[in-house]
Structure 1
Amino acid sequence: MISSRRSTTQEEKPQASWLQPEELARLNSLELRARGVVEGFLQGLHQSPFVGYSVEFSSHRRYGPGDDLRHVNWKVFARQRKLYVKEFDAETNLNLYLFVDASRSMQCRVDGAMTKHEYASTLAAALAWMAMKQRDAVALGLMDDGITDYLDPSAKPGRWEECLKLLAQTNAQPVTALGKSLEQASALARHRGIVAIFSDLVDDTSAVERGLVQLRHRGHEVVLFHTLDPCERRLTQKGRLRVVDMEGAGQLTTDVEGIRTAYLRRVDTWCAELADICVQQGVDRIELTTDQPPAAILFDYLVRRST
Structure 2
Amino acid sequence: MTALLSPESLQQIKRLDLRARMVVRGFLQGLHSSPFQGFSVQFSEHRRYNRGDDPRLIDWLVYAKTDKYFVKRFEAETNLTGYLVMDLSKSMGFTQSGAMTKFEYCTCLAAALTYLMNMQQDPVGLITFDEKMKALLPARSRRGHLGDVLAQLARLQPTGRTNLPASLIQLAAMLKQHSLVMLFSDLLPSDTGENDVDEVISSLARLRHGGNDVIVFHVMDEAEVTFPYDGPVQFEDAESGETISVDATGFRDDYLKQVEEFRERYRQGCYSLQVDYVPLDTSMPFDKALTEYLLQRQRSG
Q: Output the TM-score relative to the length of structure 1.
A: 0.75
Distance in 1 between residues matched to 2:232 and 2:42, nearest whole Å: 44
Amino acid of the structure 2 residue aligned with 1:207? E
Greater helix share, structure number: 2
Distance in 2 between residues matched to 1:54 and 1:156, nearest whole Å: 22
| Aligned pairs, number | 255
Q: Are 1:145 and 2:137 matched, yes or no? A: no
**Percent identity of the aligned residues?**
35
Change (3 A) 1:249 1:96: same
8 Å Cα contact 1:230/1:236 also seen in 2: no
How big is the shift at 1:209?
A: 1.3
Change (3 A) 1:240 1:33: farther
Amino acid of the structure 2 residue aligned with 1:281? L
Q: Are 1:241 and 2:236 matched, yes or no? A: no
8 Å Cα contact 1:145/1:173 also seen in 2: no
Amino acid of the structure 1 residue aligned with 2:85? F
Q: Give 1:261's aligned residue.
A: 253
Q: Give 1:208's aligned residue.
A: 200
Q: Are 1:225 and 2:217 matched, yes or no? A: yes
- Match of residue 288, structure 1, among 273, 280, 285: 280
Secondary structure of the residue aligned to 1:226 is: strand
Greater strand share, structure number: 1
- In structure 2, runs of 5+ residues without a counterpart are 1-10, 33-38, 48-55, 59-71, 189-194
* Divergent runs of 4+, >6 A: none
Distance in 2 between residues matched to 1:285 and 1:304, nearest whole Å: 7
8 Å Cα contact 1:106/1:116 also seen in 2: yes
Q: Output the TM-score relative to the length of structure 2.
A: 0.77
How big is the shift at 1:58?
A: 6.0
Distance in 2 between residues matched to 1:182 and 1:234, nearest whole Å: 29
8 Å Cα contact 2:20/2:112 also seen in 1: yes
8 Å Cα contact 2:276/2:296 also seen in 1: no
When the two chains are superposed, the root-mean-square deviation of aligned CA atoms in Å is 2.7
8 Å Cα contact 1:52/1:135 also seen in 2: no
Q: Give 1:38's aligned residue.
A: 24
Larger Rg: 1
- In structure 1, runs of 5+ residues without a counterpart are 1-9, 12-24, 60-86
How big is the shift at 1:50?
A: 6.8
Secondary structure of the residue aligned to 2:40 is: coil
Distance in 2 between residues matched to 1:219 and 1:54, nearest whole Å: 17
Q: Give 1:97's aligned residue.
A: 83
Task: Give CA deviations for 1:9-35 in whole Å, capped at 9, x if unaligned.
Answer: x99xxxxxxxxxxxxx9xx52222211
